[in-house]
Structure 1
Amino acid sequence: MDRKDFLTAIGMGAASVAVFNCIGCSKGSTGSPSTSAPTNVDFTLDLNASTNSALNTNGGYLYSGGIIIARTTTGTYIAVSQTCTHQTYNVIYRANNKQFYCPNHGAIFSETGVSSGIETSKPLAQYKTQLTGTNLRIYS
């Protein structure tokens, strides 16, 4: 094999690896979040459990079952679908701004999931919350 054939073979191999990696990690691949919101939701979080401790502080939030559950600065609980409706990235809760925000491309949603129109006009699905003692129920 001469030098030209060797470099061509190496170049094709590198291109194959790059294409495979790009296809393998595309937003729609298995394991990625879905842009469709969870339906028939009904689960309860024990706020005494250490895994749910973020919800014991105003402004805290966590993800569970495809939903982001947050405690507002006034202490109320809110829940919306965790995946941005523009692309399959998780939104975060910004308590001081009273909004959900997609850090990957800047989409902004109100605390009720309404889009600001930046990147998408489709809202996040909203879920009901009910606090009974230290149990927080999230349901559709």
Structure 2
Amino acid sequence: MNSEQNAENINRHEFLRKLGFAGSALAAVYFGANLQSCTNDRVSPAPTNLTLDLSASENAALKNNGGYVIKDGVVIAKSNTGAYIAATLTCSHEGKREIIYQTDHFYCTAHGAKYDNNGKGLNGDGKKGIAVYTTSLTGNILTITA
């Protein structure tokens, strides 16, 4: 008999079990390459002098409290108190670029992470917070800076 005939044919799962991997350790080996941490390191670069003309039709949503627009990776909103606020479009939970503004807070449509107007997380998925930016208004020109 040659060594090929004696070789035991096993699948990957059995091979890992023979190495001593079981339970959650086995799952980590299988899925480890796709896991991501909940960090803020995937946030888009901060804007430098992003400007919006509030009289332009594409920014009409900013005339109403709770309205928002998205430009260059930034969510710009008019809060329920009438203040202009801005935050990154990128959620710190899983790096999805799905932040919107809902009446009085930032919200990620991907998994439900919520953030207050200062970027502080309001639930477990939002616990890492998001980057918020400084806004200043001169006439009809709103400027957003890091």
Instruction: Give TM-score, length-normalised by structure 2.
Output: 0.67
Identify the residue that residue 60 of structure 1 maps to in structure 2.
67
Q: Alignment partner of 2:125: what SS?
A: coil
SS across alignment from 1:55: helix
Cα gap change, 1:120/1:59 in structure 2, threshold over 3 Å: closer, same or farther? closer
**Between the two proteins, what is the percent identity of the paired residues?**
41
The aligned amino acid for 2:109 is P
| Partner residue in 2 for 1:109 | 115
CA RMSD for the aligned pairs?
A: 1.8
Structure 1 gap ranges (5+): 1-33
Change in Cα spacing, 1:81 to 1:40, as seen in structure 2 (3 Å) is closer
Letter matched to residue 61 of structure 1: Y
Distance 1:79 1:40 in 2: 10
What is the match of residue 140 of structure 2?
A: 134
Q: Does 1:49 align with 2:70?
A: no
Question: Residue 94 of structure 1 aligns with which residue?
Answer: 102
Contact kept in structure 1, 2:115 and 2:126, CA below 8 Å? no
Q: Secondary structure at the match of 1:58?
A: coil
Asked if structure 2 preserves the Cα contact closer than 8 Å seen for 1:37 and 1:125, the reply is no
| Matched letter for residue 116 of structure 1 | L
Structure 1 moving runs of 4+ over 4 Å: none
Q: 1:117 to 1:64 in 2, by over 3 A?
A: same
Count of aligned pairs between the two proteins: 106
- Report if aligned partners of 1:94, 1:100 keep a CA contact under 8 Å in 2: yes
Q: Distance in 2 between matches of 1:40 and 1:103?
A: 22
Cα deviation for residue 50 of structure 1 reads: 0.6
1:123 deviation in Å? 1.4
Pair member with larger Rg: 2
Q: Secondary structure at the match of 1:122?
A: coil
The 8 Å contact of residues 87 and 130 in structure 2, kept in 1 or not, is answered as yes
